[in-house]
Structure 1
Amino acid sequence: MTLLCGDCRDLMPAQGPYDLILADPPYGETSLSWDRRVEGWLPLAAQALTPSGSLSVFGSLRSFMATEVDFRAARLRHAQEIVWEKQNGSVFHADRFRRVHELIVQFYPATARWQDIYNVVATTDDARARTVRRKRRPPHTGAIAAGIYRSLDGGPRLARSVQRFRNVHGRAIHPTEKPVPLLDLLVRVSCPPDGLVGDWFAGSGAAGVACRLAGRRYVGCEIDPDMARRARDRLAAILPFPVGEPS
């Protein structure tokens, strides 16, 4: 496992190719000095993927709307989105709903086919017992290809696109730190065993912890030297071997 300190645009492309890139870039929604959108990283990330690799990006709807042209320019195609539901959230405006969710959107290169992208279908075992049935696409989906899903009595069902995980408020070492169980889910479904995960905005190194738990290789990059040091200390505490130092 390696955690670099510096600008991901300078350091991360050479560390690939990556089976999965996780990115939690600044959303650009506040007046905080560090909350500024980073330009130019998306095409570099797209080029650093393996032929079966994908990119999962954290953000708000506003941030994705503001950067939609950048995803198109990087020739990245939307695969799916997950809504991360928290037990509490942020109040940006006192006259609107309290926002208790964030989006994780998965992309893959437009030159690839989704069938060639590594993807483990996420399931959950909380389905109620029911008879076997076949599900075909509803007529209103038009040209979307038909899919057949076989549901066994009391067996697994497809995981829902809304996933609930407690955030880490009160115990985080980074202001936008994501929970390890959520990152662990993303890593397991989108990166093959012993594959390489690139964490381009590493922050606290939580994704590195998830990779350790899932048995995936990890390269992270954090631009803040103090945070990079704290993230290395966090990773070193769970690893039986030294965490890589910056070049």
Structure 2
Amino acid sequence: MSAPEIITGDCRTEMSVRGPFDMVFADPPYGDTSLTWDRKVEGWIAVAVAALKPSGSMWVFGFMRFFIDQGGLFKAAGLRYAQDVVWEKHNGSSFHCDRFKRVHEHAVQFYRADTEWAAVWNEVQTTSDARSRVVRRKKRPAHTGDIGRGHYVSEDGGPRIERSVIYARSCHGRAIHPTEKPSGFVEKLIRTSCPPGGIVGDFFAGSGSAGEAAAMSGRRYVGCEIDPEMARAARDRLAGSLFVGCVGTTEKEGRAG
């Protein structure tokens, strides 16, 4: 398997010449705050669709406000909504206008409108925590005579389909990037939508958590990060992982328009 690659630059130019990707992963700025880096990036969705294989799909992180605001852009770019999962955090944040503390984010899966859903690569994720059925033992009624006991015993636990609300501790206190996603949670999305040995295209790489998740699941990875310092931190993270060797050294300085 080729080493993961982190590119420094604008995803709208750098990722347009790479791919095609089996899966696109995107955690774009939501545009919710006044922070200098938290601004909406125009035009990246169309680039991602063009770089996506017909059998591929795209997972995008965001709050509900983000998807309501940006929903028309996904449709205009030729994408269809497939499903979504909720990341439940152990802590959260709130704006001054909120009446509930926000402890969740959405990850929404889209696929190309020119592809039938049945043709999109998906692998059902399961957990081995299904509750075992009660052991039932039939008492022998007196009138039946001498018969053996009848009972069944189910396997303890066992697989069940993964729930759409998934709990994972946030990276608070140990995050490299301020909006870093837990690599274990991201790995579930990658295993769901990228075939083994396939390639994940990460349009907003940040600290490289998706690259770490791709390595853990045996997938190839190309990430793009516009901040040179963060891109270097992502390379260091992937280089130090037990699951990967040295990362690619391609670095093209870029700037968002």
**What is the TM-score normalised by the length of structure 2?**
0.85
**Alpha-carbon spacing, 1:229–1:130, altered in 2? closer, same or farther (3 Å):** same
Question: Which residue in 2 is equivalent to 1:224?
Answer: 227
Q: Deviations over 1:153-203 (max 9, x none)?
A: 853221110000000011011000000100111111110011000000000
Aligned residue type for 1:17: P
Number of aligned positions between the proteins: 228
Correspondence 1:246 to 2:251: yes
**Alpha-carbon spacing, 1:242–1:65, altered in 2? closer, same or farther (3 Å):** closer
Measure, in 1, the Cα distance between the counterparts of 2:98 and 2:45.
34
**Alpha-carbon spacing, 1:211–1:128, altered in 2? closer, same or farther (3 Å):** same
Aligned residue type for 2:180: E
Question: Which of 101, 106, 117 pairs up with 1:103?
Answer: 106
Measure, in 1, the Cα distance between the counterparts of 2:84 and 2:155.
26
Correspondence 1:92 to 2:62: no
SS of the equivalent of 2:31 reads: coil
Once the two structures are superposed, the pairs formed by residues 1-247 of structure 1 within 5 Å of their partners are 1-93=4-96, 96-130=99-133, 154-238=157-241, 239-247=244-252
Moved over 4 A (4+): 151-154
Measure, in 2, the Cα distance between the counterparts of 1:156 and 1:87.
25
Measure, in 1, the Cα distance between the counterparts of 2:247 and 2:82.
36
Q: Which moved more, 1:194-203 or 1:232-241?
A: 232-241
Measure, in 2, the Cα distance between the counterparts of 1:95 and 1:35.
19
Q: Which moved more, 1:237-246 or 1:50-59?
A: 237-246
Residue identity (%): 58
Measure, in 2, the Cα distance between the counterparts of 1:50 and 1:85.
30
Measure, in 2, the Cα distance between the counterparts of 1:84 and 1:240.
30
Q: CA RMSD in A?
A: 1.6
Measure, in 2, the Cα distance between the counterparts of 1:79 and 1:130.
33
Query: Structure 2: any 5+ residue segments left out of the alignment?
Result: 135-153, 253-257
> Highest CA radius of gyration, 1 or 2?
2
Deviation of the 1:237 alpha carbon: 1.3
SS of the equivalent of 1:184 reads: helix
Measure, in 2, the Cα distance between the counterparts of 1:34 and 1:91.
19
**What is the TM-score normalised by the length of structure 1?**
0.88
Query: Structure 1: any 5+ residue segments left out of the alignment?
Result: 132-150
Question: Which residue in 1 is equivalent to 2:142?
Answer: none
SS of the equivalent of 2:174 reads: coil
